[in-house]
Amino acid sequence: MTRAAREGLGVGVIGAGIMGADHAKTVHRKLSGAVLTAVTDVDARRARAVADATGAAVPADGFALIEDPAVDAIVIASHDSTHAELTLAAIRAGKPVLCEKPLAPTVSESAAVVAAERDAVGDGIPLVSVGFMRRFDPGYVQLKAALRAGRVGPAVVVHGYSRGVSAGPGATSESSVTGSAIHEFDCVPWLLDSPITEVSWQAGRQSSEVDPVLRDPQVLLLRTADGVLTTVEVFLNARYGYDVRCDVVGEHGTLALTEPAVLVVDSARTHGYDYAADWRPRFAEAYRVQLQEWVDSIAAGAVSPLASAQDGLTATVVAQAMITSMHDGGRWVSVPPEAG
Amino acid sequence: MTRAAREGLGVGVIGAGIMGADHAKTVHRKLSGAVLTAVTDVDARRARAVADATGAAVPADGFALIEDPAVDAIVIASHDSTHAELTLAAIRAGKPVLCEKPLAPTVSESAAVVAAERDAVGDGIPLVSVGFMRRFDPGYVQLKAALRAGRVGPAVVVHGYSRGVSAGPGATSESSVTGSAIHEFDCVPWLLDSPITEVSWQAGRQSSEVDPVLRDPQVLLLRTADGVLTTVEVFLNARYGYDVRCDVVGEHGTLALTEPAVLVVDSARTHGYDYAADWRPRFAEAYRVQLQEWVDSIAAGAVSPLASAQDGLTATVVAQAMITSMHDGGRWVSVPPEAG
Amino acid sequence: MTRAAREGLGVGVIGAGIMGADHAKTVHRKLSGAVLTAVTDVDARRARAVADATGAAVPADGFALIEDPAVDAIVIASHDSTHAELTLAAIRAGKPVLCEKPLAPTVSESAAVVAAERDAVGDGIPLVSVGFMRRFDPGYVQLKAALRAGRVGPAVVVHGYSRGVSAGPGATSESSVTGSAIHEFDCVPWLLDSPITEVSWQAGRQSSEVDPVLRDPQVLLLRTADGVLTTVEVFLNARYGYDVRCDVVGEHGTLALTEPAVLVVDSARTHGYDYAADWRPRFAEAYRVQLQEWVDSIAAGAVSPLASAQDGLTATVVAQAMITSMHDGGRWVSVPPEAG
Amino acid sequence: MTRAAREGLGVGVIGAGIMGADHAKTVHRKLSGAVLTAVTDVDARRARAVADATGAAVPADGFALIEDPAVDAIVIASHDSTHAELTLAAIRAGKPVLCEKPLAPTVSESAAVVAAERDAVGDGIPLVSVGFMRRFDPGYVQLKAALRAGRVGPAVVVHGYSRGVSAGPGATSESSVTGSAIHEFDCVPWLLDSPITEVSWQAGRQSSEVDPVLRDPQVLLLRTADGVLTTVEVFLNARYGYDVRCDVVGEHGTLALTEPAVLVVDSARTHGYDYAADWRPRFAEAYRVQLQEWVDSIAAGAVSPLASAQDGLTATVVAQAMITSMHDGGRWVSVPPEAG
């Protein structure tokens, strides 16, 4: 091995908001074999701030970044509405791309990405990965391993809980499904090794603190091909903290993620631990490992172990079926088989 | 006060199975102001065993026990199918009666008890109490108090989990609802101060270890008049232990029952606590307090703070609606308003 | 059995402070086979308040209560300084007596009680029990049972933690040992079935919020005859809550008491449970069971399963040795063998 | 920034046992800005195995590795007895070195390293860091931050627990102090910002499963200059799992590390989580962050934020005092002031 061979992959990050800035920092400071070479944002100051801290260049826009010769691979963390067109550009450039979830807000855009990638690489190494980072979270990884190892027998019911402090601006009942619950639509089939076949949408009592354009909380029901029923509570304005959990009930036991707190405090008549205000501390390790695995697979010329474009499409198809149920009284809606 | 005045209420227990023997022991050993004076069972040996340990008499059968002058108040813990006729006999005898849940397996029998009591006492002190003991469990009591105190804001979603090691002999999909889930049908409205208005029945994946005559686990959905959605997982053959929990999600926090373990063990690469094999340790305190409160209310000539006959009827009406949903593809079924 | 035979033991309670009023309420409302017949206190109003709520008589003082024919058995919960003389009076009256810990603050007084009882009853049923209620706490009972059952192998180290919100008025370094730590001096030998043979006193850093007449916290070291080393942290002004714990480390595992919380709250970025402000909720069940066992043993003419006068003396002897160590630089001090 | 500037620091690892192989893997796969260029071990096959998996070279021995021009910085993870001479060689070569704890088993060797470094660099950037990785463990970091933030007031007592499954071969009472407890001798002063001034050694009951040449468990008492008393239980053969904890008791609350489990299992009548068999999973993140911080400081030409040679010497001086106490009946032994 010479040092040159280890020089590292040049990574460009599109989007320097909370998520993009976090990815840029991880690439710059925590990855082996990668160098942050470029960053862009619609808000030039945000891109500039990241660049100043890392030495990365600031191309004119995402498309310029994709074409930049110093960029070997691209991370897309810009607005959801831009995901598809940027991913398509990366495919055209023949460069590996990690697109934050969702691959696209609509089924048709997601399908277009899948088709474009197929046309571009055929049976070769795929170019597109999707950032369903729970697949790399130590908790979810242990959960799946324990399930596969038979520690509780075959799964019969799954309960998911996805709560945040407050919804982002502009959140609607539908975006709660396509933007937040979509993690579950990828995670549950991955966990159970079985695709989602039908879904049903149910409303909790509306929180009086939330504008009714966003039904919050929602309770989602998922049926996978293996017959397992999953309940998912999504509550974007849960106020008390960022709290994502998953319980798998098996035929002779249960598996449950714990909040990975490391410090317990006794104070003022209470015993307990703190919640974070957003998802970054909870999933910091998942994001780091996901990026490292992605970089390593590119360096090795291997297939990415991340979620694929097809996985991204499938999750979007499930989301679409869920919204159909939402708009039709909560009835069970079948997921089109082409989703899998 | 003279000692005579404190001599104590003579209590007779009908049924000396697991539950009845437990009640008899509690009356005999743990209550203030009560004396166990009689016990019966269809299996005379079981009644005899309890009598030998306590000094209680063994009348010929439940009806004889009800008529026994040494019996001031009656606990019914015999087979569910006998509850209504024995309760009616107690009403006729004008004696207070605590009937184990369910008041009766059918709506018509339950309604008959409510009508008979009304005819017997009018606006006077009711005679019938129903053994929904969760209302006296320290956990549920604290849960309700914390909810009322506004610690998490108004409830928006409730999650109940009711798991046992193995179903009793003869259990069916329907008896899982009328015999086990019925606790939730009483508990949730009591907790929320709002009646159940509609229900929907959903199947988990069937445990391969369970005869299909019993769908196990089941996931039940309850809507209360306040709009709150409750999910209840009932899994009679969960194998790993007896485990009953309840989470209330409010507008700015959650309340959750914990397994009330008092000892934690580190051993053989694991850290944790033990589950009991059945409900008695979990609800021992609830049963004791419920019986004490019942005895105290009788001694004071006051209205019983336990669930009433109407509460028993209401829970049975909800159970009936749930079974209708079960037999009709899981659709939402309205609970008849007369239930409340 | 006739009802008369179950009429119940007449119990008188001396002292109507926090502890005494709690005992009186338990006797009145929660015990089988006992009737609260009398209560006294140096503060007549406190005694009156208890009497009004229960129908008990109010004799002139503790000695009059002991002589009262309606009093079959006596609970002493008055000031520590009165314990010995009242217990001696009960012995003279030939009546069973449950004296709150400590049996007496001094070794000589405790020894006098032991001697008086021996003279009074010889080989007969002892009259004196001492209120070391941890022996009846479900947690400590399970801890001892698990240890005996060999779940973690033989004990090698024990850690005790005894924290309260704030010390009572007049607390001193010495009274922290004789009044609070004394629970550990009874509990540890009971747990290990091995007497304490030597002790050493160590100071924590003095809390700046505590008057130096009370060294707080203290760390006490106990060696039992079996070689086990016990560390006990006593912190009377721990502020955050009433928190008593015990960890037993065995040769291949550990056993630990948990705070027996039944409700967990998520709120305002935290997850946890509440502490009580004093010992009553934590040990309510222990006090109830202890009193019931005491009453039952008297009714049965059997030896009391509670701590004996000798146990009370032994704990006081250990406390004396600990104070000797405190006054002598923390050196290891042997416990005189006559203590056991 | 050019890519060349980011080419990365060449790191050589001396020792390819459990710890060294783990460090090598971390350097190779998880660090930003570092390349594993060389590895050695007294057992050539172990070095070869690491080299084959990473592309690193295998110099003849540790001294050759230190001189290798492809090695910019050195990690020493060979036998404790070799630490001092290898660290001295690295100082002579003018290269940054991260030496696993202990810096050396003896005070004199440790002092020689401190002196050599002082002679070599004067007021310049020090060359030597010591691998007290707890300083980078997320739990300890949060613990210290919470303490400094005043969440529980000033510390009054600290309790440490350091338990492993089984001691390594050749472990003695003394090596338990110099090799294991030494983590506490660095960690406690770091946590409290106050040096250890005196120590006392106490024996638990000897585990019957352990050869008496190793007293196991031991209970160590530490007094820091601020007056805080620390108790540390060290139990190398605790059997049940690898379990390191720390509780800090403050004037109005406590802070406690939790076992950072992410998965909870209900199975076979128990609820709980698993322990690892050794320290690697527990401290994997601490090791990664420590190495990254070390690499970053070297790249930046800044002072290493890791423990210094002086910190390594200080811990060894405390260990020496503890062994003196062990050999002298457990009396309190002062730590020579030159340690700090």
> ipTM more than 0.85?
yes
For an interface test with B, give the residue of A147, A156, A332 to mutate (most B CBs within 10 A). A156
Asked whether the beta carbons of residue D265 and residue A252 sit closer than 8 angstroms, the reply is no
Q: What percentage of chain C reaches a pLDDT higher than 90?
A: 94
Per residue in D90-115, pLDDT (tens digit) is 999 999 999 999 999 999 999 999 99
Residue B337 confidence class, pLDDT cut points 50, 70, 90: confident
What is the average pLDDT across B138-142?
A: 98
Q: What is the pLDDT of residues D243-263, one digit of tens each?
A: 999 999 999 999 999 988 999
* Residue A94 burial class via C-beta count within 10 angstroms: exposed 0-12, middle 13-18, buried 19 and up: exposed
Contact flag B266-D243 (C-beta cutoff 8 Å): yes
Residue B240 has its nearest CB partner, among D243, D267, D277, at D267
Q: Is the pLDDT of residue C50 over 50?
A: yes
CB A272 within 8 A of CB C274: no
Instruction: Return the minimum-mean-pLDDT range out of A270-274, D6-10, D316-320.
Output: D6-10
| Structure confidence at residue B7 as a pLDDT band (50, 70, 90) | low
Check CB contact under 8 Å for D151 and A265.
Answer: yes
Determine, for residues B269 and D274 on separate chains, whether the beta-carbon distance falls below 8 Å. Answer: yes
| Alpha-carbon Rg for chain B in angstroms | 20
Q: Which residue of D has its CA nearest to C151?
A: D240
Chosen from B251, B252, B326, B328 to mutate, greatest number of chain A CBs within 10 A: B251
Identify the band that residue B3 occupies on the pLDDT scale cut at 50, 70 and 90: very low
Tell me the shortest Cα–Cα distance from C49 to chain A, in angstroms.
30
Tell me the nearest-neighbour CA distance from D249 into chain C, angstroms: 8
Query: Are D142 and A7 an interchain contact pair (Cβ–Cβ within 8 Å)?
Result: no
Q: Best of D2, D6, D254 to disrupt the A interface by mutation (most A CBs within 10 Å)?
A: D6
**pLDDT for residue B128:** 98
Question: Chain C contacts of D205, Cβ < 8 Å?
Answer: 154-157, 226-229
**How many A-D residue pairs are in contact by the CB < 8 A criterion?**
119
In angstroms, rounded to a whole number, what is the distance separating the alpha carbons of residues D68 and D62?
10
Mean pLDDT of B3-21: 82
Higher pLDDT: C35 or A337? It is C35
Residues of D with CB under 8 A from a CB of B: 240-241, 243, 259, 261, 264, 266-277
Q: What is the pLDDT of residues B203-254, one digit of tens each?
A: 999 999 999 999 999 999 999 999 999 999 999 999 999 999 999 999 999 9
Distance from CA of D94 to the nearest CA of C (A): 44
Of C243, C206, C225, nearest to C318 (Cα)? C225
Computed over every residue of chain C, the mean pLDDT equals 95
> What confidence tens digit (pLDDT) does each residue in C114-127 have?
999 999 999 999 99
For A269-298, write each residue's pLDDT tens digit.
999 999 998 888 999 999 999 999 999 999
Render the burial of A144-182: b for 16+ CB within 10 Å, e for the rest. Answer: bebbeeebbbbbbbbbbbbbbbebeeebebbbbbbbbbb
Q: D249 and C233: CB-CB below 8 Å?
A: yes
Q: For residue B273, give the H/E element and its range.
A: strand B270-274
Interface mutation target, options A244, A262, A266, chain C, most CBs of C under 10 Å: A266
Q: Do D205 and C235 touch (CB under 8 A)?
A: no
Q: Which chain A residues are within 8 Å of C267, Cβ to Cβ?
A: 240
- CB D31, CB D291: distance < 8 Å: yes
Q: List the one residue out of B307, B289, B279, B312 whose CA is nearest residue B19.
A: B279
Binary contact (A156, B235; C-beta < 8 A): yes
Q: What are phi and psi of A104, to 5 degrees?
A: -165, 155
Q: Is the CB of D8 less than 8 angstroms away from the CB of A8?
A: yes
Contact C253 D239 (CB under 8 A): yes
Q: Taking CB atoms and an 8 Å cutoff, what residues of chain B touch A226?
A: 205
What pLDDT sits at residue D3? 35
Q: What is the band of A7 on the pLDDT scale with cuts at 50, 70, 90?
A: low
Choose the mutation target among C147, C156, C196, C254 for the interface with D, i.e. most D CBs under 10 Å: C156
pLDDT tens readout for residues D164-198: 999 999 999 999 999 999 999 999 999 999 999 99
A 10 A CB-CB count for B121 gives 14
Whole-number percent of chain B with pLDDT over 90: 94
pLDDT at residue B1 above 50?
A: no
For the record, the structure tokens of C206 come out as: 């003095």
Pick from B172, B170, B174: nearest CA to B182: B174
Best residue in A157, A165, A226, A255 to probe B by mutation, most B CBs within 10 Å? Answer: A157
Tell me which residue in D266, D267, D273 faces B271 most closely, judged by beta carbons.
Answer: D273
Output the pLDDT for position B213. 98
Q: Which chain C residues are Cβ-neighbours of A241 within 8 angstroms?
A: 266, 269-271
Per the CB < 8 Å rule, is A152 touching B219? no
CB A206 within 8 A of CB A153: no
Q: Between the CA of residue B124 and those of B94, B117, B120, B303, what are the distances in Å?
A: 12, 10, 9, 9
From B241, which residue of chain D is nearest by alpha-carbon distance? D269
The per-residue pLDDT of chain D, averaged, comes to 95
Say which amino acid occupies B245: R
Q: Report the chain B residue with the minimal C-alpha distance to residue D242.
A: B269
Q: What is the pLDDT of residue C8?
A: 87
For residue D1, pLDDT over 70 is answered with no
Give the mean model confidence (pLDDT) for residues A148-153: 98
C58-87 residue pLDDT tens: 999 999 999 999 999 999 999 999 999 999
The reply to whether residue C265 touches residue B254, judged by beta carbons under 8 angstroms, is yes
Please indicate whether, in this complex, the C-beta atoms of A229 and B205 are within 8 angstroms of each other. Answer: yes
Contact C230, C157 (CB under 8 A): yes
Omega within 30 of 0 (cis) for the link into D217: yes
Instruction: Give all strands of the β-sheet with C73-76 in edge-to-edge order.
Output: C34-40, C9-14, C73-76, C97-99, C128-130, C307-308
pLDDT: is B89 or B278 the higher one? B89
pLDDT higher than threshold 50 for residue C207: yes
Q: Where does the pLDDT of residue C338 fall: very low under 50, low under 70, confident under 90, or very high at 90 and above?
A: low
Task: Answer yes or no: do C233 and D157 touch at CB < 8 A.
Answer: yes
> Searching chain D, which residue's CA lies closest to the CA of residue A52?
D1
- Which residues in chain C are closer than 8 Å to A273, comparing Cβ atoms? 270-272
Residue B8's pLDDT is what?
A: 87
Closest CB to D262 among A7, A35, A257: A257
Q: How confident is the model at residue C26 (pLDDT cuts 50, 70, 90)?
A: very high
How many angstroms separate the CA atoms of D80 and D91, rounded?
18
Of C30, C254, C261, the CB nearest to B266: C254
How many pairs of residues across B and C have Cβ atoms under 8 Å apart?
A: 121
CA gap A245, A160 in Å, rounded = 6
Q: Under an 8 A CB cutoff, do C139 and B263 touch? A: yes
- Taking contacts as CB-CB distances below 8 angstroms, the residues of chain C near A262 are none
